[in-house]
A = this chain, B = another copy of it.
């Protein structure tokens, strides 16, 4: 299955940015980063449970929000994508 992981954390503090980096590292070891705080992970049930367990160990539930959306097979009928996937240095400075 495809699991979409969405992680909402305040990056105003150094601790928040550190948590985002740690969450990102866990997700990237199991999938692909598609936005600053959105990841796509192709996993089976056992790997999904591992992913969930590892992420729950990283986040701070009083301050952060973590969402999992599980897409069932066949995944391609449930996903539509338009435009280009742009490789972005998500860990670089964000200039607005």
Contacts and interface: CB of A to CB of B under 8 A. Distances in A.
Interface of A: 4, 6, 8, 10-12, 34-35, 37-38, 52, 56, 59-72, 77-86, 93-96
Contact of A82 (B35, B56, B93, B95): B56
Contacts of A56: 82
Determine how many copies of this chain the complex contains: 2
A21 to B, nearest CB: 14
Contacts of A71: 69-71, 78
Given A94-B96, A96-B12, A65 B38 contact: no
B84 A66 contact: no
Contact of A61 (B34, B65, B83): B83
